[in-house]
Amino acid sequence: MQPHVTTALQAWIASWTAHERAAQDVMEAAFPGLKPTPAPTGCCDVQMRWERDGEGSGTACLDDHGRATIQFEDVPKAAVGHAMTEVFGNGWFNEGPDGFAGAPPGKYCWEDDCTYAECEIDIGDDGLAAVAISYVKIEDVVAILDALETGLEAVRPSA
């Protein structure tokens, strides 16, 4: 490789690494339970995990295209309802006029034809939900994570 191309490529790699670190920092700021997963992660280079008793667990990843994916399980339905209403409003997923907080058990999906983002919320009979949101821009996943953290704070028992 020509020296000037090698230099330019090294600069791009350094910028991309800084971009990944900034994405990780902002996701952790929005959802403080997320902590980096040491390599190898099993999927993306940047993966973060979280687990809180009574609040759920899961992962957040940043792929090689700069898109984020979150996969959370056993999250209180009320917290998911708060987050989805805050970010999307009610009705995007045909979950009913009361949003996910009042939605019956079932699987609710939505795909964005412009960005190729995919969202799936699975409400269980037990009042818990699984949240899988894939291929979203960092600013969008940060808004969702922040709203979910606020929703979890609202349903946490007072100390």
pLDDT in tens, 35-56: 998 876 677 778 999 999 999 9
Question: Is pLDDT of 26 > 70?
Answer: yes
- 3-17, 28-42, 88-102, 106-120: range with highest mean pLDDT: 3-17
pTM confidence score = 0.91
Model confidence at 146, in pLDDT bands (50, 70, 90)? very high
Question: How many angstroms separate the most distant Cα atoms in the chain?
Answer: 63
141 CB-near residues (< 8 Å, 6+ apart): 27, 60, 68, 69, 70, 133
